Structure 1
């Protein structure tokens, strides 16, 4: 019989890296409401630009010793990823002008089940069975979250923009995976954050967005979000060296849940069907990363 000590040793423990990922999902979940607050004193593009300029500056300070080795490929990789980050976060920020932070977080989480579809269309990698299950759950959850009325599904502009933003984040994930083995992640991180900020500022005149009036609230939120963005990226790069992708995805599935908790504390109230839809999306995130175990082959004599 096993002793109490042996049972304790066999019990799975949460590593430091996993605790760190749990912590950043809590921070990540709170950023949706913070962005919504910032939009009361700033336009979407200026805030995205200020947020990512702060993150780029902080990341550059941490990576200053390796930035001299920046290659053309890393510049290209960081720029391409930066474009997808811009569209992902800019559209999400525009969406937050008209939808709740909780709903935005749940819709954004759809990037996980979207990734296998993009890989199928672009890289010709057919999704696994569990990926299809996750996609079906995600689609059902999205319909419930959008609030079907009278047998029809009507997406608001904010929901539609956030969905396109999730699609852009899925492209970002694929690009990161494509370049990961041939670039220095620290240098690429600085470039992608800087490119996101630059595009945001450059597009302000084209969209007619004016500079906001000076606000300590805006400065504080932008600096705080910049620190959060840099911290999240650096923590992910460190933790996922030892945390399996499937286990990490399960942890990331908690991000919209934390956003929902923060939103509820702030007074947001989603209808019952919308909450069910959000729950289905969270389940889809976990399910889409599961891989069925293959039964060992038996050979007869």
Structure 2
């Protein structure tokens, strides 16, 4: 039986998205220096191809039973967007700071309602747009702690392009996942993204040397393959199959909250009042998107406007 036919309460799918964000938030601590010492194309290639192989082996009976031309085509399309988003993001990170990268990547929250309009033909509501704007302000307060002026360089522009592909992937997943096996699609996405990364690395980057595969690097790769890819992206894709992309992007934006929280807990970073206010804005954005449209107060306001 296809798992997509068994509908669970919406809050469970929201919890899956938040769990994915928590895993990615921890990854900012675990793999903080990986991109600086390992070519980004090879990193994306090894990460996703290994994740695709692991997931395919784990799902082998399901893959044999479900895999067909439709799943191959859909998985390949989604895999291209995954590959481009991570390749651009990893490349951009080599030319910008981690805090600016976090903020610029999170701009997909603002892009998703409009990308969903283009892809799903579903016009964003005032709640979607307002929540996205509030969320990106909150992420900015959490991520950008420097008082220096903000300017866009090469790395920042590349990171913004990665956010565009990431937002398009969210919208496309919401459109294409229903009616298909999301677990099989996820494995296929990983394999396609991994092959893209290896091709990118082989053409444009130096080949990794045995010395680069230190115990710390192997630990980071294992975390990226098993936790940040197999588990987190699988949770994200399952959630996206049941929650529209605009509110889903807000749940995923809590990654910045978890990233700072883990940095405070594990690295001893100081929690500032600016960060706390940013957290509050992010959670308020989720409330605006999820609960304001269905609240009795807002229903009365809208009813009065229609009279």
Q: What TM-score, normalized to structure 1?
A: 0.76
Shift of 1:162: 2.2
Match status 1:266 vs 2:267: yes
Q: Equivalents in 1 of 2:85, 2:186: separation in Å?
A: 16
Distance, in Å, in 2 between the alignment partners of 1:201 and 1:62 is 23
Q: Is the 8 A contact 1:32 1:259 kept in 2?
A: yes
For 1:52 and 1:16, the matched residues in 2 are separated by: 26
- Go from structure 1 to structure 2 and tell me whether the alpha carbon gap of 1:79 and 1:127 turns closer, same or farther (over 3 Å shift): same
**Aligned-residue offset at 1:142:** 7.4
Cα distance change of structure 1 residues 285 and 46 upon mapping to structure 2, 3 Å threshold: farther
CA gap 1:136/1:185 in 2 versus in 1, 3 angstroms = closer
Q: For residues 132 and 18 of structure 1, do their structure 2 counterparts lie closer, same or farther at Cα, with a shift above 3 Å needed?
A: closer
Q: Provide closer, same or farther for how the CA distance between residues 199 and 249 of structure 1 changes in structure 2, counting only shifts above 3 A.
A: closer
Cα distance per residue 1:56-77 (max 9 Å; x no partner):
1221122100212311111111
1:109 Cα offset (Å): 2.9
Alignment partner, residue 217 of structure 2: 218
On the 8 A contact 2:174/2:243 being kept in 1, the answer is no
Q: Secondary structure at the match of 1:81?
A: helix
Q: Does 1:202 align with 2:199?
A: yes
Structure 1 unaligned residues grouped into runs of 5+: 1-14
Question: CA offset at residue 194 of structure 1?
Answer: 0.3
- Are 1:79 and 2:76 counterparts? yes
Return closer, same or farther for 1:155/1:291 CA change in 2, 3 Å cut-off: same
- Answer whether contact 1:250 1:286 (CA < 8 A) is retained: no
Summarize the Cα distance change of 1:116–1:61 in structure 2 as closer, same or farther, 3 Å threshold.
same
> How much has 1:94 moved relative to structure 2?
2.1
What is aligned with 2:162?
Answer: 165
Which whole-Å CA distance do the structure 1 matches of 2:244 and 2:164 have between them? Answer: 24
Q: Distance in 1 between matches of 2:88 and 2:270?
A: 23
The structural deviation recorded for 1:177 is 1.4
Q: How many equivalent residue pairs?
A: 284
Quick check: 238-247 or 281-290, which moved more?
A: 238-247
TM-score when scaled to structure 2? 0.74
1:31 is matched with which residue? 27
User: Gaps spanning 5+ residues in structure 2: where?
Assistant: 1-10
Give, in whole Å, the separation in 1 of the partners of 2:273 and 2:254.
19
User: In structure 2, what is the Cα distance between the partners aligned to 1:72 and 1:208?
Assistant: 33
Q: How does 1:102-141 map to 2 (within 5 A)?
A: 102-137=99-134
Give the Cα–Cα distance (whole angstroms) in 2 for the partners of residues 22 and 179 of structure 1: 22
- Match for residue 256 of structure 2? 256
Distance 1:75 1:47 in 2: 24
Root-mean-square deviation over aligned CA pairs: 3.8
- Distance change (3 Å), C-alpha of 1:255 and 1:148: closer
Q: Which has the higher helix share?
A: 2
